[in-house]
Structure 1
């Protein structure tokens, strides 16, 4: 064990996005002393975006990854209800469902098959999950009929959160935890440190390096949750480049009166209404771009395309344009577990477009690994470090 001091922790979490804050809360509830170090401000990376779309994979070619995501999406409502009750803050969750246009006879046959597979795979006791086919012209006040000449899909597994509100609720839970965990363990508030760019970790003495210098912060274990920047830190340690950043851009529009509408996925874009009277539209995927400047032409194109299939967006004011860099592993699936050859270093990154929907389950699995507890969550093999590292 390391020497005890006010700057000594059981777990240092590097990055205050959705993975980092979720893991910190789970670790705190397990009775660990936790510090979170963020290079910027809480949620200033890709997690601080606009969409908050919790969208399932298609039920075809079922595999452990899809089962993991299904279990996460069907449990997140209860998880967030507990977080909201604890903090008094809303995470903006709603099981809003999703509609998808059908543009050809071939795609109609495809979705008939998906509907049958959803009836087999999307099974949840106590809640009816649907994957219904509706005729052309259905929901014409939301999806333009010409965008869906062969009808549309309406599925009810999809949901959404308000990303920044979810992060704020997690931060509040870390700063002001309940008096004790559900297991009766007294909880110690986590320390949240902004403007602390972690540049290294000395496994011999547990010293955290910030901006290239010893910080005086010591940890038994460290977990990298710094989004795409985690890949650069991992490369320093392992010599392997296993992922990259991929830029995405989105818009926020005035959406008064649209709060109860389902999300729409059309023309490669999501349109996601939120409870606060806004609608998020996005996003782009720029595979070899790691900057966060907003490209006005690209976001204008997003708006033009979205208005073409969602006529209710016409004339609505643009409230914000956003750009961020999302972490994407070279092997596509998230990376979660202990870094090979590093007994005191763990990592959770690469959620890409599904991070918000699975973060609470990733947190449980990662904290089980850190504490040596029997796994409550079975990670897909494709999430594990041995899948990603040579």
Structure 2
């Protein structure tokens, strides 16, 4: 299908990436967001670009493709944007995953072996090398794996840069505009009714993060995207003592779990500003924004298992956000067969920043008919009507 005008709902990093990629392909794009750009999930994450937490399969393939696109992005943006535009703070810091128990060690080493067979750099390191990578790490290390491909970016700066690049090619970004309903011509979606008038287009792409289910419902379909709450502690600035993204091996299990109850695991990393970010938590409790001491206490206690020196660190603040959760733990990327003209790019949960560029490439390939990554064979795994999601579509209906 060749589309000359596309309406993108959501100005977070996924929507920004899609707008830029479509604009580069010559498409007229309008981006709508009920709030500010990067005002939702994108502003409340840690900026992770990870392959270390993904097992073999479609999501890992998308992560690997996205990681390649992230490597090229700074050079591409330098050609697009003024020299004084804020830096992306893209840092190829790598990751270190640590098991602090014998059981965790066995699981970690088996997981890393499967990843290596899928092309991931997952280097098992001994205690001496682990100490070189992270001198202040706990002595209670039963196994460690170094992931040199992991990286971090400043997500708000990246979102703004992607949108600025899209604007340079004619994209219109409208903030404070809420989508209220769809516009149809026969059976086809041809635009949206908003709080600031109608916006028409040949296609509508919903990239509204955890609010995508609400937007999809207003347009006429049900999509089982739900908010999954996460909380992060931020320390005061200190000398740089954490050199990679470091997390406990149980983090992968928390990511893959569908349990609605609170789950926490140790994730620790430094920022360019000198603070230390401490996560992570996952809990499905709707759009409840309250910060709770029970969650903060678990995060702090588990971080001390990895880095005992944090016992003397002052906590400067804490913040939370909502990840877009889908029951089968895969993003929803592509056209909706129930409503021609509607496309989805959502459900990435905590991986949206890292997967944003690959997601944009898939959407642009599909919307414009461009030959590209969609022919790689894994695009169908993200389809709305995939077998693992169909039962949940029926539940949502």
TM-score (structure 1 length as normaliser): 0.83
Counterpart residue number, 1:138:
131
- 1:47 paired residue among 16, 23, 42: 42
Counterpart residue number, 2:230:
248
Alpha-carbon separation, structure 1, partners of 2:348 and 2:182: 23
Alpha-carbon separation, structure 1, partners of 2:112 and 2:293: 39
Q: 1:202 aligned to 2:189?
A: no
RMSD: 2.6
Counterpart residue number, 1:384:
383
3-state SS, counterpart of residue 51 of structure 2: coil
Q: Which ranges of structure 2 fall in alignment gaps of 5 or more residues?
A: 251-264
Alpha-carbon separation, structure 2, partners of 1:222 and 1:240: 15
3-state SS, counterpart of residue 373 of structure 2: coil
Q: 1:355 aligned to 2:388?
A: no
Alpha-carbon separation, structure 2, partners of 1:307 and 1:138: 17
Q: Tell me, yes or no, if the aligned pair for 1:59 and 1:121 is still in contact at 8 Å.
A: no
Q: 1:316 aligned to 2:316?
A: no
TM-score (structure 2 length as normaliser): 0.82
- 1:193 paired residue among 167, 170, 174: 174
Counterpart residue number, 1:372:
369
Aligned length: 361
Q: 1:231 aligned to 2:225?
A: no
- 2:155 paired residue among 157, 163, 180: 163
Q: 1:10 aligned to 2:17?
A: no
Alpha-carbon separation, structure 1, partners of 2:112 and 2:280: 26
Counterpart residue number, 2:18:
23
Alpha-carbon separation, structure 2, partners of 1:261 and 1:304: 20
Counterpart residue number, 1:342:
339
Q: Tell me, yes or no, if the aligned pair for 1:101 and 1:151 is still in contact at 8 Å.
A: yes
- The alpha-carbon distance between structure 1 residues 275 and 69, as it changes in their structure 2 partners (threshold 3 A), is same
3-state SS, counterpart of residue 349 of structure 2: coil
Q: Equivalences for 1:213-224 in 2 at 5 Å?
A: 215-224=197-206
Deviations 1:164-222 (A, max 9, x none): 221122232233x2xxxxxxxxx32x2111111112220228342113xx714322221
Q: Which ranges of structure 1 fall in alignment gaps of 5 or more residues?
A: 1-8, 124-128, 178-186
Alpha-carbon separation, structure 2, partners of 1:323 and 1:168: 21
Alpha-carbon separation, structure 1, partners of 2:78 and 2:286: 36
3-state SS, counterpart of residue 60 of structure 2: helix
- The alpha-carbon distance between structure 1 residues 92 and 314, as it changes in their structure 2 partners (threshold 3 A), is farther
Q: Tell me, yes or no, if the aligned pair for 2:52 and 2:95 is still in contact at 8 Å.
A: no
